[in-house]
Amino acid sequence: GAVVSQHPSWVICKSGTSVKIECRSLDFQATTMFWYRQFPKQSLMLMATSNEGSKATYEQGVEKDKFLINHASLTLSTLTVTSAHPEDSSFYICSASGHYTGELFFGEGSRLTVL
Amino acid sequence: GENVEQHPSTLSVQEGDSAVIKCTYSDSASNYFPWYKQELGKRPQLIIDIRSNVGEKKDQRIAVTLNKTAKHFSLHITETQPEDSAVYFCAASIVGNQFYFGTGTSLTVIP
Q: Give the 3-state secondary structure of residue B83.
A: helix
Whether A67 and A77 have beta carbons less than 8 Å apart is answered as: no
As a whole number of angstroms, the distance between CA B111 and CA B107 comes to 13
Name the stretches of chain A with pLDDT < 50.
none
pLDDT computed for residue A105 by the predictor: 87
As a whole number of angstroms, the distance between CA A96 and CA A103 comes to 8
pLDDT computed for residue B8 by the predictor: 97
pLDDT computed for residue B104 by the predictor: 93
Residues of chain A contacting B106 with CB distance shorter than 8 Å: 41
Pick B98's closest partner by Cβ from A46, A93, A109: A46
Least Cα separation, residue B21 to chain A (angstroms): 15
Pick B43's closest partner by Cβ from A99, A102, A109: A109
Task: Find the closest chain A residue to B86 by CA distance.
Answer: A41
Cross-chain Cβ contact A109/B42 below 8 Å = yes
pLDDT, tens only, B2-60: 899 999 999 999 999 999 999 999 999 999 999 999 998 888 999 999 999 889 999 99
Residues of chain B contacting A97 with CB distance shorter than 8 Å: 93, 96, 99
Residues of chain A contacting B92 with CB distance shorter than 8 Å: none
- What residue type is A106 in one-letter code? F
Least Cα separation, residue B108 to chain A (angstroms): 14
Cross-chain Cβ contact B43/A111 below 8 Å = no
Sequence-distant (≥ 6) Cβ neighbours of residue B27 within 8 angstroms: B1, B2, B3, B92, B94
Dihedral sign of CA atoms A26, A110, A95, A86 in order: negative
pLDDT computed for residue B97 by the predictor: 77
